Amino acid sequence: MKKPIALSLCAVLALSGCAQSSASATASAAPTATAVTADETKTADVIIVGAGGGGMSAAISAVDNGAKSVIIIEKTTQNGGSLNYTSGSMSGAETVIQQIDGVEDTVDSYVSDIMANGDQKGNEALIREYAEEDINAIQWLWDNGLSDNKFSTDKATGTMSVFAPEHQLYSVKRTYKASPDDSEKYKSAAHEILDTVLSGYDQVEVDYSTEAYQLVYNDQNQVMSVLAKSGNKTIEYTAEKGVIMATGGYSGNQSLMAAFTENGGYYLPGGASTADGYGIYMMQEAGAYIDSESMSYVPTFPMGLDTGSGPGKIASTYMWKTGGICVNQDGQRFINETESEVVTRETALEEQPQAVQYDIFTDQIIADAEANNSSVFWNYYYAPGKPYNQYVIEADSLEDLADQIGVPADTLKTTVESYNSHVTDQTEDEFGRQFTADSLDGTYNVSVNTIEGDKYYAVPLHALCVMTLGGVSINSDAQVLDNDQNPIPGLYAVGECVGNLWGKYVSGGTGVMGPIVFGRIAGKAIMNNTVETSYQPTASDSVIDAALFETDDSASAVTFDMSTALTDGTYTASVDGQEGTLSVEVTIKDGKINDVQVTEAHESSFTSEAQKTVPEEIVSSNSLEVDNVTGATLTSTRIKEAVKDCLTQASK
């Protein structure tokens, strides 16, 4: 589906001379004026785009600061945004939780750690503002129910304040892992609390299944309106105080990630497919400054499991802690698997062919992990009878294992022999991994083992992207800035659509608390600031090309006359896929499409959402004229072509 990218007339006039550019800063023609007539208009004190953690927090804060009416525009059918895809680890310094635990910490230390984790590329002033307000945000969550939630505690001390090894470790225990009370409805305690509080605010209305596509300047050069689509209806939302953008990042847009990172097209999305970055583009069209370097800040986790349905899962085996290794598609090691610098392991995987690694281990290594209490992930996810056991590849020999995972057997055998020799001789290998008793740290390097046993195992894991760090620039009030670093009147932004904030890499807990904290800041500021009337809009130094949000209609349009009589039955068809055949099975019942199953696919891992969503939408609409999944256009089209073949068979 093409995103509507028409500007309102007054916005076009304000942006006269604006030039779009691609990620490589290639200039193109300015947008063309298009008249827009809304089918409906709605007004409120504050308009918020996006009902994730940032949007929900901003709405609550706006009401707490005097707003009589707030409308949140949400393009999905539920609130929470990325909180629906994460366990919701939080972090903070000098918090009520640390006080209870007796953990001494300072804001200065927190800021220093975030700056260091971000490769010193973060905005220290904004990070400090975050860290100071985070104390109040944690206290607010605590007072509104967090105090009653169950926490994962430190095994040694029992404190709720813990270290989180999935991220670069902080210098102090300041991560908090609380479980929601209703685990069937919520994945994080923060989401549960925000939703519970928001549901009691009559001043807040949430318009679901409504997609914003345009910011509109008024005749005083203020951004006070948003154009959105709800079904076939166009709605113009107009605010009295301003608009807060809380639209998230672009971890679900493979085209956008690929445009700014070398291997971004191979990253496994770990969040919503709706995280397409279009909100950032909307603000760019309104004159917002976007730093192209920050758009390349796309951090990943070296532990993404592709289940073939929905977003990738954070699911490392952690078997390298007790002697396992990681190899790439060529069967070669590429990193010290026990490296304590998490970023080093993350970036190393990003650079491998197709950004995929295979955790290699044996039955002896599993047994040693269990003996050393390091088998939590294995026992929870991968052991027989557990949810991801089907993704564990088992073999009686290295040669058989290599054949099953598609890596050169000779290379894998040489890799293992070299590794085993270092273990046996207790000599440091070429990656700096050590194998003496003195090298064991109890966290990343628990015990030493050779790759030997009666059974050999492999689990394919991808560079997993759950958030992005590029976007617009803001000031201390969360106001969006233009090229000259002047605030754009009426326009605010919070959460993942903000760039130039955390730096190159993310710090643990800021993905949850960052949007919540800046949502609080924006909600307060928008209600207390006076909207400037003397602003002169300027064109953005564009870095995002509109084409990154569009599909090639000529390549993706697949149609079939559904008025044609169809014979009940089950039909199969195959088309050429990316790396092999793509096959589908279609069931016709009562002359309609009753079921569509993709029975064989050899597509890139990030197309799993298309393989699930496109068949579902074909069935629900009884039509091939359904939208392609963003970032998986070719796979979406292949599925529809194969289904069309089945429908043709059923029509004969």
Q: Per-residue pLDDT tens for 261-278?
A: 988 989 998 877 789 999
Q: Do 251 and 158 have their domain in common?
A: yes
Residue 2 lies in a domain: no
| CATH at residue 604 | 3.90.1010.20
Answer with the one of 450, 465, 480 that is the final residue of a domain. Answer: 465
Asked if residues 264 and 258 have their Cβ atoms less than 8 Å apart, the reply is yes
Residue 90 lies in a domain: yes
Which of left, alpha, beta for 289 (phi over 0: left; psi -120 to 50: alpha)? beta
Q: Per-residue pLDDT tens for 460-470?
A: 999 999 999 99
Give the residue-averaged pLDDT of 149-158. 95
How much is the pLDDT for 309? 72
How much is the pLDDT for 24? 38
How much is the pLDDT for 7? 39
Per DSSP, the residues of 572-584 read EEEEE-SSSEEEE
Residue 3 lies in a domain: no
Helix, strand or coil, per DSSP, at residue 305 = strand
What is the model's pTM? Answer: 0.77
Q: What are the backbone angles phi and psi of residue 620, rounded to the nearest 5°?
A: -65, -30
Candidates 331, 317, 326, 323; CA nearest to 424 is 323
Residue 587 lies in a domain: yes
Q: Does 557 have pLDDT greater than 80?
A: no
Per DSSP, the residues of 544-603 read --GGGG---HHHH-----TTS---SEEEEEEEE-SSSEEEEEEEEETTEEEEEEEEE---
Per DSSP, the residues of 254-303 read HHHHHHHSTTGGGPEE-S-TT--SHHHHHHHHTTB-B-TTGGG----EEE
Q: Do 458 and 316 have their domain in common?
A: yes
How much is the pLDDT for 325? 98
Least confident of 61-75, 467-481, 551-565, 613-627: 551-565
Answer with the one of 465, 481, 502 that is the final residue of a domain. Answer: 465
Q: Do 445 and 497 have their domain in common?
A: no
Domain hosting 445: range is: 301-465
CA distance linking residue 364 with residue 61, whole number of Å:
54
Residue 1 lies in a domain: no
Candidates 37, 91, 129; CA nearest to 510 is 91
Instruction: Indicate the DSSP class of residue 160.
Output: S
How much is the pLDDT for 198? 98
Q: Do 352 and 475 have their domain in common?
A: no
Q: Per-residue pLDDT tens for 214-243?
A: 999 999 999 999 999 998 899 999 999 999
Q: Do 445 and 484 have their domain in common?
A: no
Q: Do 350 and 271 have their domain in common?
A: no
Q: Do 360 and 480 have their domain in common?
A: no
Say what angle helices 107-117 and 124-143 make with each other, to 10 degrees.
120
Q: Do 455 and 499 have their domain in common?
A: no
Q: Do 460 and 525 have their domain in common?
A: no
Answer with the one of 465, 486, 519 that is the final residue of a domain. Answer: 465
| Residue 618 structure tokens | 């074909």
Q: Do 507 and 536 have their domain in common?
A: yes
Instruction: Return the amino acid letter for 342.
Output: V
Q: For the chain, what is the domain count?
A: 3
Q: Per-residue pLDDT tens for 39-59?
A: 999 999 999 999 999 999 999
Residue 487 lies in a domain: yes
| CATH at residue 379 | 3.90.700.10
| CATH at residue 124 | 3.50.50.60
Q: How far is CA 643 from CA 553, 627, 633, in A?
A: 18, 15, 15
Residue 570 lies in a domain: yes
Instruction: Return the amino acid letter for 616.
Output: E
Residue 329 lies in a domain: yes
Q: Does 311 have pLDDT greater than 70?
A: yes
Arithmetic mean of pLDDT over the chain: 90
| Residue 281 structure tokens | 């583009």
Q: Do 113 and 236 have their domain in common?
A: yes
Compute how many other C-beta atoms are within 10 angstroms of the C-beta atom of residue 319. Answer: 27
How much is the pLDDT for 630? 53
Q: Do 212 and 69 have their domain in common?
A: yes
